């Protein structure tokens, strides 16, 4: 019996070592760390290129990520893509869940404000978030300033927000009000 157990164990180890990159864990299949990283990098690129649907297509139906960090990153990318595809409530809910773990993450806060800015009742909260990030010099990117400029009433600092956006943007057109 002891030899049988040892043989089973060895077989299990050999099977695991010989397995393809995806990891089998109990009843779940999970991606290896390298696969997860590559997938997330590709999805992040789609988001930067303005292709939120491609992010959903890539990440929505893949197996579990190998680590909670990668899982969180997937949740973040899907949430932002959802907001940009008009599924604002879903995206905002996911970002709020992520912010419970890191409540002061400037990037997540800026994306939450982006989502809230597109919602019916979230504009005041969005404005407060972005004004705070601006005051603390923690605005993570040009988009944060572009959203701030859109939310600010005319003559109340919107021009300044556009100017800051243009400093941080690759293209000035990214900062055009109403874009």
Partner 1 sequence: MPLPHLLLALLAVSGPELVAQFQCQRCHDGLAGAPPIPVERHCVHCHQEIEAGTFDAPAEVQAGWRPNLVSLRFAPDLSELGGHLRPEWVEGFLLAPIDLRPQLLATMPRLPITPPEAKILARHLVGPPSVEQPAPAPSEVEQGRVHFLRLGCGECHAYSGVLPGRGPLSSAELLSASAAKLLAPDLAHTRTRLRPEALPTLLQTPRKLRAKALMPDYTLSPEEVSALVAFVRAAPITPVPEAPPKVRLPLLSRRVSFPEIKTKIFQKHCRHCHADPDKAFGDGGPGNAGGLGYAGRGLSLVDYRAVQSGGRDDQGRRRSIFAPLPDGTPRLIAHLLARREEERGRVVLGIVGMPLGLPSLDEAELQLLESWISQGRPP
Helix, coil or strand: residue 64 = strand
Q: Is residue 77 a contact partner of residue 47, using CB atoms and an 8 Å limit?
A: yes
What is the total count of residues that contact partner 1 (CB under 8 A)?
Answer: 21
Least Cβ distance, residue 164 to partner 1 (angstroms):
7
CB closer to partner 1 out of 54 and 138: 138
Structure tokens belonging to residue 56 = 């959903």
Q: Which two tokens stand for residue 43?
A: 């999805």
Q: Return the number of the residue (26 or 170) whose C-beta is nearest partner 1.
A: 170
Yes or no: say if 176 and 148 are a contact pair by the CB < 8 Å rule. no
* 69 touches partner 1 (CB under 8 A): yes
Task: Name the segment binding partner 1 (CB under 8 A); options: 5-13, 52-60, 83-91, 168-176.
Answer: 168-176
Minimum CB–partner distance for residue 165 and partner 1 (Å): 10
Q: Least distance in Å: CB of 41 to partner 1?
A: 8
Q: Which two tokens stand for residue 57?
A: 């297509």
Please state, in angstroms and rounded to a whole number, the distance separating the CA atoms of residues 68 and 97: 14
Q: Which of these segments, 84-92, 105-113, 115-123, 152-160, binds partner 1 (CB under 8 A)?
A: 105-113
Residue 143 half-sphere exposure toward CB, CA atoms < 13 A: 17
Is residue 118 a contact point for partner 1 (CB under 8 A)?
Answer: no
CA–CA distances in Å: residue 84 to residues 16, 26, 43, 104, 119: 40, 36, 14, 22, 12
Q: Which residues bind partner 1 (CB under 8 A)?
A: 37, 40, 69-70, 73, 104-107, 136-142, 164, 167-170
């Amino acid at each position: 019996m002891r030899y049988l157990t040892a043989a089973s164990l060895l077989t299990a180890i050999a099977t695991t070592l010989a397995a393809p990159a995806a990891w089998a864990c109990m009843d779940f299949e999970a991606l290896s760390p390298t696969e997860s990283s590559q997938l997330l990098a590709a999805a992040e690129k789609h988001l930067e290129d303005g292709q939120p649907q491609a992010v959903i297509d890539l990440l929505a139906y893949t197996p579990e990520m190998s680590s909670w960090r990668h899982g969180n990153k997937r949740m973040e990318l899907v949430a932002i893509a959802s907001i940009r595809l008009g599924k604002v409530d879903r995206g905002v809910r996911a970002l709020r869940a992520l912010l419970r773990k890191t409540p002061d993450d400037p990037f997540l806060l800026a994306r939450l404000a982006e989502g809230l800015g597109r919602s019916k009742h979230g504009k005041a909260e969005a404005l407060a978030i972005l004004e705070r990030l601006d005051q603390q010099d923690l605005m993570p990117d040009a988009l944060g300033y572009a959203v701030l400029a859109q939310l600010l009433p005319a003559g109340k600092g919107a021009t300044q927000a556009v100017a800051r956006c243009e400093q941080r943007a690759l293209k000035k057109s990214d900062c055009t009000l109403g874009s």
